Amino acid sequence: EVQLVESGGGLVQPGGSLRLSCAASGFTFSSFVMHWVRQAPGKGLEYVSAISSNGGSTYYANSVKGRFTISRDNSKNTLFLQMDSLRAEDMAVYYCARVGNGGTYYDYWGQGTLITVSS
Amino acid sequence: QSALSQPRSVSGSPGQSVTISCTGTSSDVGGYNYVSWYQQHPGKAPKLMVYDVSKRPSGVPDRFSGSKSGNTASLTISGLQAEDEADYYCCSYAGSYSLRVFGGGTKLTVL
């Protein structure tokens, strides 16, 4: 059974940093592209960042470019999101999502982890 | 990249059909046959319902169907059931650098 379990969320002050993790199991993690998607409270879904299966290519939404860093450790089946210079507008539930074999959709999602940015 | 446009809400009675639209541009919805739809119940993670415009993952009832015309994609749910009440989001591949763009979401109410 495919499982994605996020962790690392919590309360952080504006300008602070946080590192999210997503532990994957039930599939060959190193074979799949992975994304982070977020959802602000009461709002819709927003693409945040993507990483290729071997970690060699990374992509970011304009809203987080230069502040967030996506990475992965295929030996530990874990996806990461380093978030620096956090702003109030970054407050959201962050989901890790697996990109399906076709490369065009998300076939599995984690349960999400909440980031609260407040002083 | 602007979000795709979806109606804020739709409703229907059990057994009826509803259609949710998702309007983008030629740079996303209209440019690729890579629209997917997700169902999200309150407090839960999104679930894939339709991908590549009209394909259904295994386990998704055939009451859910997708289509596209020009820059607008649609999700139709036929034979509405109470458990279909949820938020629905469309998502499109947008070409460059693995970019995805989502719709603002549609709340489906089963009356």
DSSP 3-state of A62: coil
Spans of chain B below 70 pLDDT: 1, 97-98
By Cβ distance, the residue of B3, B45, B97 closest to A44 is B3
Please report the pLDDT score of residue B6 as a whole number: 97
Quote the pLDDT of residue B16. Answer: 96
Rounded to whole angstroms, the Cα distance separating A47 from B46 reads: 13
- Cβ-contact B39, B51 below 8 angstroms: no
What is the least distance, in Å, from the CA of B91 to any CA of chain A?
8
> Which of the residues B6, B100, B106 would you substitute to probe the A interface, choosing the one with the greatest number of A C-beta atoms within 10 Å?
B100
Position A107 pLDDT exceeds 90: yes
| A20 in Cβ contact with A94 (< 8 Å) | yes
Spatial distance between the Cα atoms of B51 and A100, rounded to a whole number of angstroms: 10
Per cent of chain A over pLDDT 70 is: 100
A 37-56 residues with CB < 8 A to B: 37, 44-47, 50
Partner-chain contact B36 A104, CB within 8 Å = yes
- In this prediction, residues A68-77 reach a mean pLDDT of 98
Contact residues, chain B, for A53 at CB < 8 Å: none
Question: Any alpha helices (H) in B18-83, and if so which ranges?
Answer: none
In B, minimum Cα distance to A42 occurs at B42
pLDDT tens digit sequence for A8-62: 999 999 999 999 999 999 999 999 999 999 999 999 999 999 999 999 999 999 9
Sequence-separated (6 or more) residues with CB below 8 Å from residue B27: B1, B94, B95
Q: Which of A28, A22, A26, A27 is nearest to A8 (CA)?
A: A22
CB A92 within 8 A of CB A41: yes
Q: What DSSP string runs through A73-119?
A: ETTTTEEEEEE-S--GGG-EEEEEEEEPTTSSSEEEE---EEEEE--
Which one-letter amino acid corresponds to residue A63?
Answer: S
Locate all alpha helices (DSSP H) within B1-111, ordered by sequence: none
Residue range A66-83: average pLDDT? 98
Count residue pairs from A and B with Cβ separation < 8 A: 65
> What is the rounded end-to-end Cα distance, in angstroms, of chain A?
40
